[in-house]
Structure 1
Amino acid sequence: MRWTSARSIAGGVAAIVSWRMHDVLMVLPQGSLLQGFALIGRLMLELALMVALALLILALLDYMFQKWKHAKDLRMSKQEVRDEHKDSEGDPKLKHRRRQFAQQIAMQRINQAVPTADVIVTNPEHISVAIRYDPKAMHAPQVVAIGVDHVALRIRQIAATHAIPIVERKPLARLLHGSVKTGDFVPPDAYAAVAEVLAFVYRMNGRAA
């Protein structure tokens, strides 16, 4: 496309120069050979200069167009990225509903799991860890529920409703909160502390460890 445009411009410039030199060309046969060469040389020089100038203008216009097109494409690309990001993020209202649904599911699991616990370990307000241990079926105590702040409060409320002992052990509560998730077994470095809590609860309930 660009080569075709350049040839068209060159042809147009040649026609213009030829038209301007029409009178010169008409008298060319009447002059001497030297004068003829001089006139032809001047004609060719003017033609070359005008073609070069036209091509320079064409190149400048093409550069400006390409720069404008690149900037336009870049703006479109940024908009596409924003649109894609928005699509991937989703509707904020939909995200809020999803979070609410996930919280409801998590709370339902807590409501079901906490009543099965033997003890609730707290720090005492910000962390609550519900621990269950069946020595006949488990190789180690299991964390059946864990939560912070309002979830921790909910765990304690459920425990109180079901008469599950609540024991304050700040270091142990922090250790479990930082190292386990719901459903995990107590890590070996917490065995001794958890065993002490369970023994305390068993003695309080008159139950053998």
Structure 2
Amino acid sequence: MADDSYEKTEEPTPKKLDDARKKGQVARSRELSTALVLIFSAIAFLFVGSYIASAMFNVMQRSFMLSRDETYDKVHMFQILEMSVTESAWPVMMFMIISLIGGIYGSIALGGYNFTWKSAAPKGNRLSPVQGFKRMFGTNALVELLKGIAKVLVIGGMAYIALIIFEDEALHLDMELYPLNLFHALNMIEWAFLILCLGMIPIALIDVPYQSHKHNEEMKMTMQEVKDERKNAEGDPQVKGRIRKLQYQAAANRMMQDVPEADVIVTNPTHFSVALKYEQDGNRAPVMVAKGADELAMHIRKIANAHEVPIIESPMLARAIFYSTEPNEEIPSKLFMAVAQVLAYVYQLKAYKNGKASRPKPLKKNLPIPPELRR
């Protein structure tokens, strides 16, 4: 059987995608970029094309109407140059800005903005004849060939549609007055250009999901790579388990040091033990100074017996405190009444042993514990 751990079947992790992005490996679609540049340029041509044509018409008309004296006057020639630049600068700049926006947005529409020098670094595999042969006759080359054929067919079809739409107008341009026929021809060219550019939309709509899928397939990981990445990110599970065990032991040792100072130990009686301490002169509620389950619970009881700390059996209260409170935290306010009864019983019992009070009544088994805290 083949080893599945070395087949790229796993989706790329966020770390893998982030590392690839830093290397410049992001999904890109040249067809989308080309389509947006052309469409933005066509739209800009529709809006400012007439202004550019008017500016060029005025410049050419003025330039071809120079008198003999003006051609020898250097000052006048500079004035003509200034007029030419002033006439054409604004509409040409507007066209260039809109086209530039389309080019920038087309480059980052798929994959987002990403700048890195690593993608520009020379790569030895690009000079390899074997790799070049694979690029020429691989799947990607076949896809590029199919896209090229599709572009020829689609753009050719859009050109045919544009010819049909403007055929009658184009044939009657010679019957229109000059210079209106020039501007009419320009208007037809603008719309024909837009129609041709719209032909790139279906190509881009096919190429974008293909490039995204291709990038995702290239980024896929083997099961072993996922395990190695998780191990590097989180650490060796055995080491982490050892660290957690040491941390637990250190925390348990700190808790055990506080058990002799507790006022009472509330037990399950065998599975859980919690040590409570209440400073009557302080402003804090009773504090749970230590807790443990199973072996640690037995250890707490041994320490309590050694230091004569009272042990009270109250399974429901022990479980409620164990699950709702962490060491050195005050008990929840909803358990104040139940803990107060336990502490009162302990103080009365201590006074009875010292001969200062009568024997207290046995502690109630059903202490007031809210249903949401019962375990």
TM-score when scaled to structure 1?
0.62
1:95 aligns with 2:240: yes
Decide whether aligned partners of structure 1 residues 75 and 157 sit closer, same or farther in structure 2, where only a CA change above 3 A counts: same
Distance 1:137 1:115 in 2: 19
Distance 2:262 2:140 in 1: 79
1:166 aligns with 2:314: no
* Kept after mapping to 1: 8 A contact 2:256/2:290: no
Tell me: higher relative CO, structure 1 or 2? Use CA pairs within 8 A at least 6 residues apart: 2
Residue 140 of structure 1 corresponds to 285
TM-score when scaled to structure 2?
0.36
Distance 2:316 2:344 in 1: 18
* Kept after mapping to 2: 8 A contact 1:110/1:155: no
RMSD over equivalenced CA pairs, Å: 3.1
* Kept after mapping to 1: 8 A contact 2:231/2:237: no
Distance 2:280 2:313 in 1: 23
Decide whether aligned partners of structure 1 residues 116 and 61 sit closer, same or farther in structure 2, where only a CA change above 3 A counts: closer
Give the residue type in structure 2 aligned to 1:94: V
Decide whether aligned partners of structure 1 residues 63 and 154 sit closer, same or farther in structure 2, where only a CA change above 3 A counts: farther
1:179 aligns with 2:324: yes
Q: Which moved more, 1:90-99 or 1:137-146?
A: 90-99
| CA displacement at 1:181 relative to structure 2 | 1.1
5+ residue gaps, structure 2, are 1-135, 144-209, 357-375
Distance 1:145 1:198 in 2: 16
Decide whether aligned partners of structure 1 residues 183 and 165 sit closer, same or farther in structure 2, where only a CA change above 3 A counts: same
The equivalences for 1:15-94 within 5 A come to 62-63=141-142, 73-76=218-221, 79-94=224-239
Residue 192 of structure 1 corresponds to 337
| CA displacement at 1:72 relative to structure 2 | 7.7
5+ residue gaps, structure 1, are 1-56
| CA displacement at 1:96 relative to structure 2 | 2.8
* Kept after mapping to 2: 8 A contact 1:120/1:164: yes
SS of 1:102's equivalent in the other structure is: helix
Larger radius of gyration: 1
Deviations 1:17-47 (A, max 9, x none): xxxxxxxxxxxxxxxxxxxxxxxxxxxxxxx
